[in-house]
Amino acid sequence: MSKEQNQPQNDKERVGVYICHCGSNIAGVVDVEDVAVWAKEELADEGVVVSRDYKFMCSSLGQEMIENDIKEQGLTRVVVAACSPHLHEQTFRTACGRAGLNPYLSELVSIREQVSWVTTDKQMATEKAKAMVAGGVERVIENEPLEPLRVPIHPATLVVGGGIAGIQAALEIADAGNQVYLVEREPSIGGHMAQFDKTFPTLDCAACILTPRMVSVGEHPNIELLTWSEVERVDGYVGNFSVTVRKRPRYIDVDLCTGCGICWEKCPKKVIDEVFEEGIGYRTAVYTPFPQAVPKYPVIDAETCIYFQNGKCRACEKLCPTGAIKFDQEEEILLLDVGNIIIATGFETFDARRIPEYGYGRLANVFTSVEFERMCNAAGPTEGEIVLRDGVTKPESVGIVHCVGSRDRNYNNYCSVICCMSSLKFAHLVKERTGAEVYNFYIDMRTAYKDYDEFYQRVMEEGVLFVRGRVAEITDATRNPGEEGKLVIQVEDTLAGRQRRIPVDMAVLAVGLQPRSDTKELTKKFGISCSAAGWITEKHPKLDPVATMTEGIFIAGAVQGPKDIPTSVAQGAAAAARVLSRISMGEISLEPVRATVDEAKCSGCRICNNLCPFNAIIFHEDRMVTEINHALCQGCGTCVAACPAGAISGTGFSNEQIMAQIDGLLAFSFPQNGDLVEMVPV
C-alpha cells in the first residue's frame, strides 16, 4: 500500500555494473570510465558494490571478470551496459550461470544500439547511458531467479514449399530418419528450377540434376508428400505445432492411377499454362505440369475442365485404363503434429507489364526471362527452339535487358542477384542455338561467386555484345529502313557516352525476383515478420540467416531474399541441420516469460478471459477463478496489464521490474548547466 512512498532502498542485494567499450563503438561516443565511476558513487545506495569498464565485455576475459566478481565479491545481481540483448543477453546470462548466479538475475543495457550509435553529442550520450544504467540497476534488483522452460520437441517436421530449397531440407531431415511433411501448392514439386533448361555457370541440365532429388522425395519412406495442398492455419508453439493442411481434390484416385498419361493426351480442353509454362505454352484440363512431375499423378483443373464447367465430356474417365478418374473426390483437411517448420515458399518474378515503355504484352517479340527459360527448355512449348512469337522465325538479333524491375526506385530498389548470370546463360544459349547477334544491356555486371566471372569472360569471348546503360524504351516505331520490322531498343550507352537505337528481332526482359504476393498472409499464418520489401526477416542477417524471430520456424531459399540455386540448396541444408539438432536434443529451453494467476486475488471477473489469442487462459466455473496454461502462454503480458485486481503477474517483465526501471531511468535528468540535477528526489 505505502509502497509508493518509500523509494527503492536496497540493502540486501550486491550489484555489479559493467560498462563495455565495444572497442570504440561505445567508448568513442560515451565516456565509459565516467559512467562506471558515476555508477559506483551515485548508485551505491541502490546496492552497486562493483562498477567497471572494459574493452570487450563479451570477450572471455570480460566474462571471466564478471564470474570472478560474483565469486569473490558475492554479487547477487549483474548489470552489463553493452549492446542489444538480442545479441548478447544469452552470453552474459551464461557467464552468471557459470559463476553460480541464477542467469536471470542479470540485465543487459543496450548503450550501443540505443546510445553511442545513434547520438552525436558526447555529453548527452554519456548522460543517457548513465540514466539507462540506473534503470538497469533498479530493474535487476527486482529480477527473480527463474528456470528456463523445457519444451519437448515433436520429431516430425513440416516443410512448406517443394522448390529446390524445400526439397533439400526435406531430404536432409528424412535421411536422418525423421518424419517430414512436404506441402506444395502446385500439382508437382520442383519449383522454378524444374522450369529451367540449363543452370549457370556450369550449364548442366536442370532436369538432369533435379529429377533424381524429386524422385527420392517421392519415394522416401520418411517423407509424406502433400502436393496440390496448402497450409490453412498453424496452432501451438515450438516443439508442438499443430498444422491444418487443405488438400485440394485431384479428382484422381492416386492408388489406381499409374500416370500412364492417356487422360492428358486425350483431354480435349487445351488452356494456356500460366504457371509452369509462364503463359507461352499450353496444357490440358487434366495435366501434370511436366513429364518428370513428382508425384506422377495428374490433377484435373475444375476451373477449365469441360465436365466441371458444363457437365459433359468425361473423356478421361472413359479412357482411363484403371478407372482412376474420380469426379466426386472432395477436398481433405489434414491435421499434422510437428515440432518444427521450415518455410521455403520461394519467390515470384516481377510483372514486366508494369513498365509499359518496354512493351511487354504489347509488342509480340518482347519476352520475359521466365518465358525465355521455357522456350529454351527441350521439354518446353518450342522443344527448345529459340523463335519469335510467331513460333517459327529464328531471331537474327536478340537484346537482353537487365535489371527489369530491380535496382529501380519506381519498382524494387534491391538487386535480384540472379539476373546477370541467367542473362549470360541466355546469351550463350542464343549464340549456341541460333548464332544470332546478342546484346546485353546492363547497369553493372554482377558475377560474384565461384566460376561466375569465368563464365562472364567465356560469354564475352563468344562474341556477345555488352552495352552499359539502362534501356529507355523498346519500340516498334522505326525511323529508318534499317529498323523496319524490328524492335528498336533505345538506350544511352554510358561507356560510349551517346544515345543508341539498336534494332533487334527479339527482346528478353530479365525480370527481377520479388516476394510472393501472398507474403502478408504467410507472415500472419506463421507469426513471422518480413522486411519492408516483403522478404521474410531472419533472426540475424549474418549469424542466423535461416532462423526467424519465432521459435521453431525456419526459412530457406528465396523466401528470405533473392538467391541462386547453390545458395538456396545450402540454406535448405542449413535449416535442416538446425531442425535436426533440436530433434536430437529432444527438447529446448525457452525464455521463462509467462503469466501466472494468483487464485487468492482472482475474483473471476473474466476480464482477461478472451484477451489471449493462444487460448492459454482457462476459466474454472466451479471455483470461479481463472488459470493460465504455461504451455500455451507466449508471455506477451497483455492479461497481466489488463487484470483489474492485479491478480496476474508476469515473470521476466513484472510490474515491479518495469516500475523500478522507470524510477531508475528518471532518477536523473538531463544536465542543466553541465552537471546532473535531480529531477525527482530519489
Partner 1 sequence: MNKYLFYPGCSMQKNASSYLDSLMAIRADLGIGLEEIEDWNCCGATEYWSVHQLKAHALVGRNLALAEKQTNGTNTVVAGCSACYLNLAKTANYMKDDKVLRDRIEDALAAGGLHYTPGSLEIRHLLDIVYNDVGLETIKSKVVRPLTGLRIAPYYGCMIVRPDKDNRYGNPEYPMALDYLLEALGAKVIDFPQKTHCCSGHMTQISPDVAYELMHRLISGADRYEADMMVTLCPMCQLNLDAYQGDMNDYMGTDYQMPCLYFTQLIGLAFGYAPAELGIGKEFVDARPALAKIGVEVPEDVEVQKRKPRRRKKEEGLPMPRMGEEDGR
Partner 2 sequence: MMSEQFEPVIIGFTCNWCSYRAADMAGTARIKYPPNVRLIRLMCSGRLDPTFVLKALSRGADGVLITGCHPGECHYLEQNYKALRRYRLLKRTIAQLGIEPDRVKLVWASAAEGVQLAREITTFVEEIRELGPLHWPTSMARPQAEQSVVLEEVAA
Partner 3 sequence: MSENGKPKFAMYWAASCGGCEIAVLNINEKILDVDANFDVVFWPVAMDAKYKDVEAMPDKSILLTLFNGGIRNEENEHLAKLLRQKSQILVAFGSCATEGCIPGLANFSSKEQIFDAVYEGVSTDNPDHTRPQYNYDMPEGILHIPPFYPQLKTLDQVVDVDYFMPGCPPESHQIAAVVELVIKVLNGEAELPPKGTVIGAGPSTVCDECGRKRNVKTITEFVRIHEIENIDPELCLLEQGILCNGPATRSGCSARCPAVGAACIGCYGPAEGVVDYGARMMSAVASVIDSKDPAEIDAILDGIPDPAGSFYRFSLPHSLLRAGKSAWSNGNS
Quick note: the x/- pattern for partner 3 over 633-662, rule CB under 8 A, is -----x--xxxxxxx-------x---x---
Indicate the residue among 91 and 655 with the shorter CB distance to partner 3. 655
Indicate the residue among 314 and 601 with the shorter CB distance to partner 2. 601
Out of 61, 118, 378, 496, point to the residue binding partner 2 (CB under 8 A). Answer: 118
601 lines the binding site for partner 3 (CB under 8 A): yes
At 192 the three-state DSSP class reads helix
477 lines the binding site for partner 3 (CB under 8 A): no
Are 49 and 137 in contact, with CB atoms under 8 Å apart? Answer: no
Indicate the residue among 604 and 652 with the shorter CB distance to partner 3. 604
Q: In angstroms, what is the minimal distance from the CB of 655 to partner 2?
A: 7
Q: In angstroms, what is the minimal distance from the CB of 68 to partner 3?
A: 38
673 lines the binding site for partner 3 (CB under 8 A): no
Strand order of the sheet with strand 240-247? Answer: 229-237, 240-247, 332-338
At 602 the three-state DSSP class reads coil
681 lines the binding site for partner 3 (CB under 8 A): no
Helices (H), 558-645: 565-585, 638-642
Vertex 575 angle, CA 571 and 578, to 5°: 140
Torsion angles phi and psi, residue 517, rounded to 5: -65, -20
Beta bridge partners of 183: 160, 226
User: Dihedral of CA 672/673/678/680: which sign?
Assistant: negative
HEC secondary structure over 55-104: CCCCCHHHHHHHHHHHHHHCCCEEEEEECCHHHHHHHHHHHHHHCCCCHH
609 lines the binding site for partner 3 (CB under 8 A): yes
Indicate the residue among 328 and 675 with the shorter CB distance to partner 2. 675
115 lines the binding site for partner 2 (CB under 8 A): yes
DSSP-derived secondary structure letter, 652: S
At 547 the three-state DSSP class reads strand
Q: Which amino acid is present at 245? A: V
At 269 the three-state DSSP class reads coil
The owner of cell 528498336 is 488
Q: In angstroms, what is the minimal distance from the CB of 321 to partner 2?
A: 51
Indicate the residue among 565 and 625 with the shorter CB distance to partner 3. 625
- For residue 414, which of 539, 534, 519, 523 has the smallest C-alpha distance? 534
Q: Which amino acid is present at 502? A: I
669 lines the binding site for partner 2 (CB under 8 A): yes
- For residue 344, which of 574, 532, 584 has the smallest C-alpha distance? 574
Total of chain residues touching partner 3, rule CB under 8 A:
29
Q: In angstroms, what is the minimal distance from the CB of 610 to partner 3?
A: 5
Q: Which of these ranges, 25-33, 401-409, 543-551, 596-604, lies near partner 3 under the rule CB under 8 A?
A: 596-604
Strand 487-493 and strand 498-504: pairing? antiparallel
Indicate the residue among 335 and 364 with the shorter CB distance to partner 1. 364
Q: In angstroms, what is the minimal distance from the CB of 679 to partner 2?
A: 4
DSSP secondary structure string for all residues of 473-507: EEE---SSGGGTTSEEEEEEETTTTEEEEEEESEE
Indicate the residue among 279 and 527 with the shorter CB distance to partner 3. 527
At 282 the three-state DSSP class reads strand
Q: In angstroms, what is the minimal distance from the CB of 63 to partner 3?
A: 37
Q: In angstroms, what is the minimal distance from the CB of 141 to partner 1?
A: 55
Quick note: the x/- pattern for partner 3 over 544-583, rule CB under 8 A, is ----------------------------------------
Q: Angle, to 10 degrees, between the axis of helix 565-585 and the axis of helix 164-175?
A: 30
Could you list the residues that contact partner 2 (CB under 8 A)? 84-86, 110, 112-115, 117-121, 124-125, 127-128, 131-132, 135, 523-524, 527, 529-532, 537, 549-550, 593, 611, 613-614, 634-638, 640-642, 650, 652-653, 655, 658-659, 661-663, 665-666, 669-673, 677-681
Could you list the residues that contact partner 3 (CB under 8 A)? 1-5, 600-611, 619, 624, 638, 641-647, 655, 659
